[in-house]
Structure 1
């Protein structure tokens, strides 16, 4: 029955996609739909010299192992938003958006990661930023953790150490205490445990099939602690919302073969469900498919216990339902092909998952190697979440297109047109509870392992200029009109001329 249902779903979705005309949605965004832009602290702030700034894992690895990075450059200055935040707020206000999603640098507020030493200059910076946003009618949406773990905590084992959940709870308390009177949208974590199961991303731990699962469990418990803390001590007065953000990639069967259909569902559970299920599924816990698969493979490999850590019954109940909204970073999708079992392969997440992912050669592409354009995938993901997780409130916390930084960024506009159109159809046709959208990114910035070689910004940043001059791209005109008129705007509706500084 499960195979029949999966095949029927795939056939229905395939036929809908294949027969649909390539037209933009004619729907309008609901009146309560929120538009925003997004950044993260390490990618834009700079301001690392002095100011009580505490070193994090990115600082350490870039200084110690520069050869591991795909593109040269550091984030010591980045966009210099630590000094230029008031100018950035003007750029945000010019767009007319309702919110700005940014992250707090844990090490800027707590230089050693622990709660005993609070950096007053870090508090001042974020207080000033929040106040500047509110003074300009822009709601702050704050991510507590966006990848920049304080070095001292990393040296304790980082997100494989169960005590990290307590340290994160302490950090959350500091943020709620100092900023919660004005911040009404909180995101505990952005993204997954990248770098724990591979050596292609900081912190290069490369213990696939073990460390990434430990990280997953600790992050989940840390999120729950921050949620319950807010519920018990802050919510009644501050009246905010707490959410968490996951990668919103869609995984689709590459063929009509039953094995590939099963593999695509396996990919969804291992890539999305393993993070979302404990919090958002009515039953909580890791997905049954994931638990059974990892347990079975672990046993065959000779482990005395499953490599996937277990939640106790008390922990399952403690974690389940700890959300007010779900955030998704939606960029791309992948096709999935089943891979035969290979008992000789060493322990790894990929061995547990047992799939091959790839992208259709016909898809248009961004500058990023992984960025294939398939907006239908985002619509399918949103529908899958609605059906699997009891229709939660969803905010698209990131969506964007990479290029070389050109000002006449028509490809970026076309990308946004297609993805926003798919999101509109999700809202109106599929009745998915999508409440907001944040464009990634406000500025060209430091793109992690890729340095400054890829640009996602609505505003161009001249990184050769000591003043980090900002210049609006054509997409600024377009997005500004979309926000104002709450609809998808055609290219010919905006000026063909690029404007100067705004």
Structure 2
């Protein structure tokens, strides 16, 4: 009864054109790493170094979506999921990253994928860059990674090619996924590709990335990625948007924060600083044309690049929507200690527990993820208030269940932990719309499939579909998938056959396996 009332509340509150979907990323699901002319990306290179990925696993095969996408579309039809966020593998269509070297087999693959989705009534939303930079740009001599401003122009050429090639089918473009993540972890900590950081962070930085400087390089890489985003948006608007009728934006990952000591005013101030160092880092330039004051006041020594007048003008307004990836939150404590690298520049530290030892929320299977649904509503409200009430799409929200990867498939399907996470977060989103009047326009659950989770390999699972890596990559829908199916069907935006509907009271029964 309470669940029915909750669903009724959602249906009456969310806009009629609200988009429900799920998400994937090319490197994490496609596999076929050396098939039909695909070039090498920086993650292909990075994962070749022993010890960088859990159990030295690779994404060479991943979920083999490259060959099995018809089956995965069938899963979406079974669940009635009407929107899918995918990314294009830059080197599958441009093996060296150069638009003068086109791999037609890669272009054909994406045309076939998009056509199959559209034929099934599923709308593709396309991310241009989900971390898989061409390895040809990872030249340590001239630093042709995101540290080189010219990579922004190369990205714009790649984006132009995609708009021209696929724009008659794709009406929703996401330029970048989580700039903060791929710049800070890739150029600050060095545990993601391309593996650059200061020597004090770890020996792997010299081994893989050729060294680095954690105090400057994350900011430089992020600066160039922001310019790449702005150039691509300008290209889309000037050459394609009017004729193609699409929209374009970026998605930004951000946790929320709570004060470590509620009696300490500086800890309350640190909350806003923490969010500005995550979401504001990339939201402010798009909306205002400059970096947050919280950052410019704290990052000393000229380490934070500045936008010139033309770049500022190009960035300002470079969005049709603002994207959000939300997973977790933490407590923050003000230290007042100036930093000389990214980790300390905010003058605060984060913790899963507060001053009294209270845990902000249960641990997921991922060590970085504590479950805190209220933070979802709070970050949505923060974005609304800071950026003059924009349209917001939630492009990722999901969780890994504790111990799930160690369970036999039959037990892993009963993912109550994930069901609770998803439902609780969606209800917080509804409260943000109902009470805070936030203009949330869509929600994409991460993820459609268990997949290659970067340095965690296959050791953690985020999917609403179980992938059996020991049994021919067999797919089996989890209970969370059926819960999501019923939620979407209760709200009216579905695809596929209604005969696949399973009542909420039956969500632990009638589980079906979709074998290849």
Question: TM-score surpassing 0.5?
Answer: yes
Range that drifts further, 92-101 or 220-229: 92-101
1:200 paired residue number = 191
Preserved CA contact (<8 Å) 1:71 1:452: no
Preserved CA contact (<8 Å) 2:46 2:195: no
SS at match of 1:159: coil
Q: Equivalent residues in 2 for 1:150-161 (5 A)?
A: 150-155=134-139, 156-161=143-148
Preserved CA contact (<8 Å) 1:460 1:473: yes
1:111 paired residue number = 95
2:286 paired residue number = 279
1:349 paired residue number = 342
- What do residues 66-124 of structure 1 show as CA deviations (whole Å, max 9, x unaligned)? 21224431000000000001111111122212210000000101000111101001001
1:176 paired residue number = 163
Preserved CA contact (<8 Å) 2:486 2:502: no
| 1:500 aligned onto 2:492 | no
Offset of residue 364 of structure 1: 1.8
Preserved CA contact (<8 Å) 1:209 1:352: no
Q: Equivalent residues in 2 for 1:203-282 (5 A)?
A: 203-206=194-197, 207-256=213-262, 257-280=264-287
Offset of residue 491 of structure 1: 9.8
Preserved CA contact (<8 Å) 2:230 2:315: yes
SS at match of 1:66: coil
| 1:48 aligned onto 2:33 | yes
2:306 paired residue number = 310
Q: Distance in 2 between matches of 1:358 and 1:130?
A: 42
1:96 paired residue number = 80
2:177 paired residue number = 190
Q: Which runs of 5+ in 1 are unaligned?
A: 1-22, 299-305
Q: Distance in 1 between matches of 2:308 and 2:504?
A: 57
- What do residues 445-488 of structure 1 show as CA deviations (whole Å, max 9, x unaligned)? 000000000001111111123x311111111211100000029x
- Calculate the TM-score normalised by the size of structure 1: 0.89
The one of 450, 455, 468 equivalent to 1:462 is 468
Preserved CA contact (<8 Å) 1:34 1:97: no
Q: Tell me the C-alpha RMSD between the 2 structures.
A: 1.8
User: Alignment length, in residue pairs?
Assistant: 463
The one of 128, 132, 137 equivalent to 1:148 is 132
| 1:413 aligned onto 2:419 | yes
2:21 paired residue number = 36
SS at match of 1:158: coil
Q: Distance in 2 between matches of 1:132 and 1:145?
A: 22
SS at match of 1:484: helix
Q: Distance in 1 between matches of 2:428 and 2:31?
A: 35
SS at match of 1:438: strand
Q: Which segments of structure 1 move beyond 4 Å, counting only runs of 4 or more?
A: 489-492
Q: Distance in 2 between matches of 1:341 and 1:66?
A: 36
SS at match of 2:47: helix
Preserved CA contact (<8 Å) 2:176 2:229: yes
1:291 paired residue number = 296
2:490 paired residue number = 485
Q: Distance in 2 between matches of 1:440 and 1:71?
A: 24
- What do residues 390-414 of structure 1 show as CA deviations (whole Å, max 9, x unaligned)? 1111111011110225111111101
Q: Which runs of 5+ in 2 are unaligned?
A: 198-212, 354-358, 406-411, 493-500
Q: Distance in 2 between matches of 1:165 and 1:356?
A: 32
Q: Equivalent residues in 2 for 1:120-131 (5 A)?
A: 120-131=104-115
Q: Distance in 2 between matches of 1:223 and 1:496?
A: 44
SS at match of 1:482: helix
Q: Distance in 2 between matches of 1:74 and 1:83?
A: 17
The one of 432, 452, 475 equivalent to 2:480 is 475
Q: Distance in 1 between matches of 2:55 and 2:257?
A: 29
- What do residues 348-370 of structure 1 show as CA deviations (whole Å, max 9, x unaligned)? 11221111101242512210011
1:372 paired residue number = 370
Offset of residue 32 of structure 1: 1.2
Tell me: CA distance 1:221–1:362, structure 2 relative to 1, closer, same or farther (3 Å).
closer
